[in-house]
Amino acid sequence: MEDGLVADVFGPALALFSSGQPRRKPALGGHGSPDADDIALVPRHPVTGRPWPDSGAADVIPLAAEVWTWLAFDHDPVTATVSGVLPAGVLRDDPLPQHPNGPFLPARDVFLHTLARLPAVRRPWLRTIYDRVRTDAFV
C-alpha cells in the first residue's frame, strides 16, 4: 500500500484482513485518477448517488464526493463561492472545522458486540478477525 492519506485512513481496517495473505491495496479511482488494480475508491455523484464508473479494479468502493475530494486533494473542498478576494492562505472567512488528532478507530466493545451478533461470525475468516481484535491491542 502506498504511503499517504488513503493508506492512513484505510490501512488499519485492511490490516484486519491481512493474516497470511497479501495486503489489499486501495487507490483513488474516478475522474482524473488512474485505474486501480485492487480496490478503487470512487466518488458518488452528489445528486444521483451513483458511483463513478471504474473499469479496472477488482472491487469498487463508492465514497461521498466530499470524502473522495478530501482524500484526492488533501484539503476540504470549497463548497460555496465567495465574493471579493481573500488573503493568501485563507480558504474561507468562517472558522475551519476541527480535525481529529489521529486516525479514526472504532470502539473495541461496540465493534466486538456488533460482530458477535452477526451469524457470519461463525465463519473462519470473520472469527479470525473477531479473535484478533478481542486479544490484540489493535483497536
Mean pLDDT of 72-90: 66
Does the pLDDT value for residue 77 go beyond 60? Answer: no
Does residue 96 have a pLDDT over 50? Answer: yes
Question: What is the value of pTM for the model shown?
Answer: 0.55
Alpha helices in 16-77 (DSSP H): 65-73
How many C-beta atoms surround the C-beta of residue 29 within 10 A? Answer: 25
| Residue corresponding to grid cell 470473520 | 126
Domain ranges of the chain: 1-76, 105-139
Name the pLDDT band for 28 (thresholds 50, 70, 90).
confident
Q: Taking all residues of the chain, what is their mean pLDDT, rounded to a whole number?
A: 76
Helix axis angle for 65-73 and 5-15, nearest 10°, is: 120
Q: Does position 93 have pLDDT exceeding 60, yes or no?
A: no
The span from the CA of 51 to the CA of 92, in Å, is 29
Gap between the Cα atoms of 59 and 54, Å rounded? 10
pLDDT in the model for residue 135? 86
